[in-house]
């Protein structure tokens, strides 16, 4: 199992450009998440999905869009990139462990908007 795979690992965008951060998991997990982490801070939830075709907003959804057409893939779309979106982005999926769900995270995408 590869787990949660994110691409690209690094990206520099110019203000106003758009891009899609890719996330795929091979564990057949229904729940998937996108978080962002600013320097020295904890993770903030952007969007999440409880299954194919179902997505919902998290804490900081503005400036982002998601889709979930398959169980495996959960891409995050940035439209009209802004410097405030400079951050490290983590994708995650959740798995059942004992009595509750645990999360497994990808290695992140470091995005800089200039």
Partner 1 sequence: DAKTTQPNSMESNEEEPVHLPCNHSTISGTDYIHWYRQLPSQGPEYVIHGLTSNVNNRMASLAIAEDRKSSTLILHRATLRDAAVYYCILRYGGSEKLVFGKGMKLTVNP
CA distance 47 to 34: 5
Choose between 2 and 98: whose C-beta lies nearer to partner 1. 98
The string over 80-114, giving b where at least 16 C-beta atoms fall within 10 Å of a residue's C-beta and e elsewhere, is ebeeebbbbbbbbbbeeeeeeeebeebebbebebe
Q: Residue 16 Cβ, how far from partner 1 at the closest point, in Å?
A: 28
How crowded is residue 55: how many other Cβ atoms within 10 Å of its Cβ? Answer: 19
Place of tokens 């962002």: 36
Choose between 17 and 31: whose C-beta lies nearer to partner 1. 31
Q: Residue 56 Cβ, how far from partner 1 at the closest point, in Å?
A: 8
Binding site for partner 1 (CB under 8 A): 4, 31, 33, 35, 40-45, 48, 50, 58-59, 90, 92, 94, 97-108
Q: Residue 84 Cβ, how far from partner 1 at the closest point, in Å?
A: 19
Choose between 47 and 85: whose C-beta lies nearer to partner 1. 47
Choose between 59 and 79: whose C-beta lies nearer to partner 1. 59
Closest CA to 104 of 32, 42, 37: 32
Q: Residue 70 Cβ, how far from partner 1 at the closest point, in Å?
A: 19
CA distance 108 to 102: 18
């Amino acid at each position: 199992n590869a787990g949660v795979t994110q691409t690209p690992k690094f990206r520099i965008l110019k203000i106003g450009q758009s891009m899609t951060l890719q996330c795929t998991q091979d564990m057949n997990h229904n729940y998937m998440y996108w978080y962002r982490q600013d320097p020295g801070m904890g993770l903030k939830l952007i969007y999440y999905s409880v299954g194919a075709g179902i997505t919902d907003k998290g804490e900081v959804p503005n400036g982002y869009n998601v889709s979930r057409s398959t169980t495996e893939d959960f891409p995050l779309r940035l439209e009209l990139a802004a410097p405030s979106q400079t951050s490290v982005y983590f994708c995650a999926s959740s798995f059942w462990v004992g009595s509750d769900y645990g999360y497994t995270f990808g290695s992140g995408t470091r995005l800089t908007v200039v």
